[in-house]
Structure 1
Amino acid sequence: MQLPPPSRPQLVYLAFGPATYHQEACFSIVSALAHLGSPAGQAMDIQVYTDTAEPYAQLPVTVHLLDEATRQAWNAPHGYHFRSKHVLLRQVLQQHPLAVLIDTDTFFRTSPMQLFQRVRPGQLLCNMIGSRYGANQQCLLYKNLLTLLKQRGLADCRMPLINSGVIGLTAADAGTLEQSIAMMDEFHPLARSAYTLEEFCLAVAAYRKLALAQCPDVIHHYWSRKAQFRAKIQAWLRKHADDLLSEAALADVALVNDQLPRPPTLQRLGYKALSLTMPSRERQFARELLYGCYPYPNEFDRACAPAWWDKALQNLNERYGHIEPDRLRQCLRHPGLRLSLGARRKDIEAHLLRASQS
């Protein structure tokens, strides 16, 4: 009797909603393929659960279309959308012995096969192992849930927290997801505004039962400074839209790196000196604008310019309240800043005025 072929590892994405999430997912998938070094079909399967198939037409993935009713059911009973991650991974593990669910705002530093090597029975793979539960006693999850968790013997202050941008499990440990889903459903009313409830419940479900492994050396998860990394990815997609898997496209993946583009130290000192000629409240704003204008040698770093400008305006507004257009124009036309921005000043002014009115 001929035995069926062994099941390949499953790399799973959940992507729906605005176009930016599909752009992130596409680049994450291409970065996996660029580092794989062999045809995807021989090494692993890539499954994408999504509300639209079109963005993935060029990629060697299996697309599963999700309708609104299914997504709502996965998020029930509280409409908590991160709950769907655990529901989906549990479903995949009913059919496959090993799977890794990865957030869209990621890209690979090295071969995705290194992820699967860290998934084994009795072990949970996460993106990163964080601090202990008791390290931040002002956290809502600590204040509202510690007593309950200790009474049930589920957790204590020594429990390590995790980042769930990556979740890898074997089918043998899929029960961990059952427990995390049940805890999300129970604890959501007690910590409704806790953004990290999903990964917290996974940490509790795994505590004292599963070993933890992490993979920041394999995956860059850009949950911070998203605008800059999205700008890099969108520039890559615009450049290679006609053939996402061409030799040139795969070569350019390495240029979309995990470094936040910043000018050299000497240049930053020059920007700081220039900003001292401006009112104190506008100095950081000026420096951040100039960071976006620096002629970075990497074309994808140069694509971050509008993201730098947007962040500069956001930071200014957060510190001092909404800046009126006339005040913004006055700031941008300060002699020192005007000279430094040069020919780009008019474009920057138009961009920021649009952003301030949106």
Structure 2
Amino acid sequence: MDSHQLLYLLYGGNEVYRQEARFSILTALREQRIPGSFTISVMTDEPQAFDGWPVNVIPLTTAMLADWKGANGYTHRRKACAIAAGVKLADKTIFVDTDTVFFKDPATLFERINDHQYLMDQFEWTWREAAKRPVYQRFAADLVARGKAPADTLKLYNSGICGITRANTGLMDAVIALIDEWADHGSTLHTIEQIAVSFMMGDSKVVTARDCVNHYYAKKRYHHAMNKGFFETYGEQYRSDLPQLSATVPVFFPGPGLVARTLAKVRLLSVAKPLRPAAKMIIYGQAISPPDYLEAHCRHALWNRAIELMQQKNATPLAIEQVINVCVPTARQPEFKALLAQRTAL
């Protein structure tokens, strides 16, 4: 059995998530300072996707995935089941959501875990704060009615990173039981899984990982664009130089510099106020400076978001044309209009 392992879960056959997982693995290997300081395991229903990759593949069957989803059909129950199964394979396990990149050695995170201390992605809010959020209110009221509300001071964590020891395997079994107890809320509160983890950790010592990783769940579209550009350029078959090549992709989606942001504010004054958020995205799409091979991918990610924002505002063709004339250089207007035509056709 391995001493320390990073654990991933990938299923469903979606290319976007497969690229997430592969790129995350590359960043972990890139940052690893001592070979063999940890291993990487991937639980997946497409084991062939990792042929030649330096990972331990744990095949998942359709029946197993159905069982992990449970009788109530809560998708993220599978994550809890994967951790419960995976934690038995090593002294210390860190589960990693695929939409995560490392910018420091994962080995340092294993140093933070022991039988009396857990590792999570980041602290989000206390129960007192969460219970006031609209999406939590029905769930919170139900817990109060059943006499099972936690202390106001309970800390809720994002579980994009979840590190525990083999000795604490029972924690995840209890999490799964809690998920099933809260089955009625899984369809409206999608974070039931990570709430259950926080509940079961209770007052235990918890440390966080955000000084070592970027869990980019809120900026997926932009990182997906960079992942796609990377693999289109270098291919998805593993080779020894891929981890170091992954360093050419920014850890955080690149933003424009101070001068570009200041100039954008001036240009936005001539755009109708409801369309300014979209116009800003269009301008920023030309002001960022990723590596050359990612430039178009990053620009198009921002421009596609801008088009979505204009569509949400029901912008007229004339209003959109005015935004284009203000925000897009003449030479690039055909490029933008081609994207617009694609989005309009969807």
TM-score (norm 2): 0.90
Q: Aligned match of 1:158 in 150, 153, 156? A: 153
Q: Aligned match of 2:283 in 263, 277, 290? A: 290
- What per-residue deviation string (whole Å, max 9, x for no partner) do you get for residues 174-226 of structure 1? 11111111111111204531021110011001102x21111101111001111
Contact 2:2 2:39 in 1 (8 A): no
Cα gap change, 1:256 to 1:171, in 2 (>3 Å) = same
Q: Does 1:15 align with 2:6?
A: no
Which moved further from structure 2: 142-151 or 79-88?
A: 142-151
Q: Aligned match of 2:191 in 190, 196, 211? A: 196
Q: Aligned match of 2:252 in 243, 256, 259? A: 259
State the Cα distance separating 1:238 from its structure 2 match: 1.9
Give the letter for the 1:25 counterpart.
A
Contact 2:214 2:252 in 1 (8 A): no
Partners of 2:18 and 2:116 in 1: CA distance: 33
- Structure 2: 5+ residue stretches without partners: none
- What per-residue deviation string (whole Å, max 9, x for no partner) do you get for residues 68-94 of structure 1? 221111011211111111111111223
Q: Aligned match of 2:120 in 104, 116, 126? A: 126
Which moved further from structure 2: 105-114 or 290-299?
A: 290-299
Secondary structure of 2:23's match?
A: helix
Q: Does 1:346 align with 2:334?
A: yes
Q: Does 1:76 align with 2:70?
A: yes
Contact 2:185 2:192 in 1 (8 A): no
Secondary structure of 1:34's match?
A: helix
- What per-residue deviation string (whole Å, max 9, x for no partner) do you get for residues 72-130 of structure 1? 11011211111111111111223433211110000111111112112210222111122
Partner of 1:250: 243
Determine which structure has greater relative contact order: mean sequence separation of CA pairs < 8 Å that are 6+ residues apart, divided by chain length: 2
Q: How does 1:104-183 map to 2 (within 5 A)?
A: 104-136=98-130, 137-145=132-140, 148=143, 155-183=150-178
Contact 1:106 1:221 in 2 (8 A): yes
Partner of 2:321: 330
Partner of 1:29: 25
Cα gap change, 1:154 to 1:100, in 2 (>3 Å) = farther
Cα gap change, 1:256 to 1:342, in 2 (>3 Å) = same
State the Cα distance separating 1:342 from its structure 2 match: 2.5
Partners of 1:246 and 1:342 in 2: CA distance: 43
Partner of 1:53: 47
Count residues in correspondence.
Answer: 343
State the Cα distance separating 1:305 from its structure 2 match: 0.8
State the Cα distance separating 1:154 from its structure 2 match: 6.5
- Structure 1: 5+ residue stretches without partners: 1-5
Cα gap change, 1:304 to 1:272, in 2 (>3 Å) = same
Contact 2:271 2:323 in 1 (8 A): no
TM-score (norm 1): 0.88
Contact 1:132 1:160 in 2 (8 A): yes
Contact 1:103 1:166 in 2 (8 A): yes
Cα gap change, 1:158 to 1:139, in 2 (>3 Å) = farther
- What per-residue deviation string (whole Å, max 9, x for no partner) do you get for residues 117-153 of structure 1? 1221022211112211111313443542366369656
Secondary structure of 1:162's match?
A: strand
- What per-residue deviation string (whole Å, max 9, x for no partner) do you get for residues 47-76 of structure 1? 111121343223101222222221111011
Which moved further from structure 2: 168-177 or 18-27?
A: 168-177
Partner of 2:344: 356
Secondary structure of 1:273's match?
A: helix
Secondary structure of 1:224's match?
A: helix
Q: Aligned match of 2:273 in 263, 276, 280? A: 280
Secondary structure of 1:97's match?
A: strand
Q: Does 1:86 align with 2:74?
A: no
Q: Aligned match of 2:179 in 171, 175, 184? A: 184
Contact 1:293 1:341 in 2 (8 A): no
Q: Does 1:235 align with 2:226?
A: no
Partners of 1:285 and 1:160 in 2: CA distance: 36
Partners of 2:234 and 2:334 in 1: CA distance: 29
Give the letter for the 2:341 counterpart.
L
Cα gap change, 1:300 to 1:99, in 2 (>3 Å) = farther
State the Cα distance separating 1:166 from its structure 2 match: 0.8
